[in-house]
Amino acid sequence: MSGLAWRGVVEGFYGEPWSHADRLAWFDRAGALGLDHYLYAPKDDPWHRERWREPYPADRLAELARLGRAAAERGVRFVYSVSPGLDMRFADDADHEALAAKCRQLYDAGIRSFALLFDDVPMEEPELLGRQHGEVAARFERSFLRPAGIHEPVLFCPTDYAGLERTPYRIGLDRTLPRDARVLWTGADIVVGRVTSDDIARAAAAFGRDLVLWDNFPVNDFDRSRVFLGPLTGREAGPGLVGIVANPMVEAAPSRLALHTVAEWAADPSAYEPSAAADRAYRAVAGDDDGDAAGLRTLVDACSAWPPGAPRWPRLDVAVAAERWDDAATLLRGLAETAPSASTPVDLATQLGPWIAAARATGAAGVLACRVLGGSWDGADHADAIEALSAARRLLEAEFADVARAAVLALVDRALERLGVVGTRTHGTGAKVAVLTCPNPAPGDRELVEFLGRSGMRAHLGDDPAADLLIVTRGATEETARVAASRPVPLLAWGHLVPLGLATAAAVPLSLDRIRIAGPDHPAAAGLDGDVVVYRGRSKLTVADPPEDAAVVAHDPESGRSVIGVTPAGSRLADGSIAPAARATFFLAADGFAPWLVTPEARALLLATVRELLG
């Protein structure tokens, strides 16, 4: 089939928006690539979302006007989006007038394309909400777009933007949304590995409108420790799909590697071949195609997996599974030698800096492990090898950026076991703490045991009937959590909060690095107050709606929901049961107590909470 009519990029991620320079640099290449639409939708622009009714201050408006002019000069259409759904009063004429006035301000500044976004807002009474959202779009078209001489179809992002079926929200939306509106849709899920022609047909029928694929690729706001540098894969086109906007990473320059391949796919989906597109993208973006052993190619190879849950580095996995240690060492040596070449663009090298450092540390640790596992360690004795591996492990765990970390940590552990170093299960001499997790504990779980042991406790992975404190991580099963809930010992958790009775609801918002202390006098606050940075980079927080009797020690500054809550023994829990011992929730998420993630303040808060539970 021929290329899609509507092709572009949506700056729609959570976290720090692209800089003015980042956007200009993208416009310089976007038009030539055919990604000639740029949808402005950064979640951290307050006038786009939370303060949508308010006009832009003069300096911010002038910057948007400059961006619009710069985009037009480079053949890119600047599309300004506004997201009023958090608190719009649909029956209030004043809010509709405020929406039109807001966009009229942008129009007067030279912006000529607009979009309405209702993504990521609460959805109660879905059919009614869909009908209301469609009415907003229809009224916006009548009262602003058409009088302003803008005759393109409304570009609209629904609240129910993922999935294939005809839902109550979509039924209501279909009744009121203009018939020629184009609906932004993310696929069968929010982040997907595949989009098929059948998916497109079913979703287009569910909305009754043509679709523009809001492709959450290569976005990394859900895991700020990773970058996604590989090509677009798993995409088909078909009737009903008229366009694509790719949601890039927070790191603008590294995003170009993936976006170049999006442009190739969008220009001719039927002829697209990912590996060839990736090679052309690398040559165009990285600029170090001079044949040197160094460069960024191995780093790109190690960070090319998509979707996010796919195996990280299949070539390394194959070599390790076959115990071809020389082959594995060759791959890892290339990673250890990662370095920008003289011709690598400065912004690319700078923004990839943390991952270049991580690649070098990961590669060096992996090469050492392969030498031990392959029998080629030439150190004087086992003690040398153990010390070298332990030092490499500490260096790897110190990097926030993640380049094949889990695979290489597993290699290092395997090599240490080959040398006779078996991790002891119990540490410390004080209170006994059982860390409940999965059979293959995450690095953060192991670090938690070590940390509590260094703090004087007898901590270990796995259950213990004689434990003085239970910690339920996200890796534990729900059944394990339910059994733990009945135990008459103190309990701390950041997983399974609802089954444990510690919350009526819980969620894991993205791209956050701090919490706000609400009870500075509480012992679990560790003497801290105000906003406290708990992660070394933006990551996930576990937030909860705690029981009424819980003391909220800290909350999420954005949503206001609890992130550290302590419920005393004998208090009523969220499920109506009585706490048989003290209970607490904590803000950690999937990575848990990962050493590359948590700050000293986070460590202090966890230790204070544990000690409060133990009395």
202 CB-near residues (< 8 Å, 6+ apart): 164, 165
Question: What CA–CA distance (Å, rounded) separates 550 from 569?
Answer: 10
Catalytic site includes residue 531: no
Q: What is the DSSP letter of 349?
A: H
Which amino acid would we find at residue 508? Answer: V
Closest C-alpha to 402, from 597, 575, 226, 536: 226
Question: What CA–CA distance (Å, rounded) separates 524 from 601?
Answer: 12
Classify 566 as helix, strand or coil: strand
Which amino acid would we find at residue 79? Answer: V
Closest C-alpha to 359, from 314, 421, 307, 404: 404
- Tell the residue number behind the tokens 């406290």, with chain if given: 532
Closest C-alpha to 285, from 263, 256, 265: 256
C-alpha distances (whole Å) from 225 to each of 250, 333, 481 are 11, 22, 28
What is the helix (H) or strand (E) element at residue 545, kind and residue range? strand 543-545
52: left (phi over 0), alpha (psi -120 to 50) or beta: alpha
Q: What is the DSSP letter of 155?
A: E
Q: Given CA atoms 491, 497, 499, 504 in this order, what sign does their dihedral have?
A: positive
Question: What CA–CA distance (Å, rounded) separates 365 from 455?
Answer: 28
- Tell the residue number behind the tokens 């000293």, with chain if given: 600
Question: What CA–CA distance (Å, rounded) separates 571 from 574?
Answer: 10
Set 120, 317, 347, 545: catalytic member: 120
User: Are residues 107 and 64 in contact, defined by beta-carbon separation less than 8 angstroms?
Assistant: no
Residues forming the active site: 120
